[in-house]
Amino acid sequence: MTLLEGKIAVVTGGSRGLGRAVIERFLEDGAQVVTGSRTPPVEPFQGEVKWYELDVSDRASVEELIQNTFQSHGRIDILVNNAGIEIEKTIEQSNDQDWDQVAGINMKGVYLCTQATLPIMRSNGGGSIINISSISSFVADPNLALYNASKAWVSGFTRSVAVDHGRDGIRCNAVCPGWIMTDMLMQTFAQASDVEAAMQAAIAKHPLGRLGEPRDIANTVAWLASDQSSFVSGQTITVDGGLTAAAPIDPSDHG
């Protein structure tokens, strides 16, 4: 039997990037997957995946996705709250529209999807919720003030769900990716005058000597979704190649 054989999983923001990598890993592990996003997948998945148009900041849209999944499959075992955005601004540069957009997707979306899924998981006898947070939840990336704050909220929310609903057999954990090779990261590199130099400088900051791949995050999510992690709940697991473990000192400065 594969790791997630017979499990029913919902993944938000699954059309590309980390969400797509998670779906591909889940399919390999035998799960049946439903996903929702604002835009459909550009390429078909290598397996059967049901896609719905989804606005995670809208309660009606979220409840339609969750109820459709329940009606089709009779249960939900795994929820991955992956949908998220970032706006590159400081607090002083940000406006109310920026706040509404970031908070609506990164915070309210996690809240709405979790709230809609909890009763179904309780009726199942339990389940696993995995929230995609970020190393930005505990170390602030410059010019990402609202994003940083929203991811810190996700980590706090994760602990509350784990504490309040553990008795129902529901586990909740967060994964904190570091610098992962996604479209979002490449957009950041694209702002540099020398993209290749910027990437090499970023790689040099990682003790493992490389940037992360979406698969690195998907592997961690799959483990948290599986029964192998049945005693893990309320945790934030950092997957960053050692980036945030290192002191900001260049060894060459010491001869």
Just list the catalytic residues.
147
Q: CA nearest 121: which of 160, 69, 172, 169?
A: 169
Q: In 3D, which of 149, 131, 121, 154 has the Cα closest to residue 7?
A: 121
User: What are φ and ψ of residue 56, in 5° steps?
Assistant: -65, -15
Measure the CA–CA gap between 73 and 178, rounded to whole angstroms. Answer: 34
What whole-number distance in Å separates Cα of residue 67 and Cα of residue 105?
A: 20
- For residue 133, what is the enclosing H or E element? none
Q: Nearest CA to 89 among 146, 150, 36?
A: 146
Question: Distance between CA 101 and CA 20 in Å, rounded?
Answer: 22
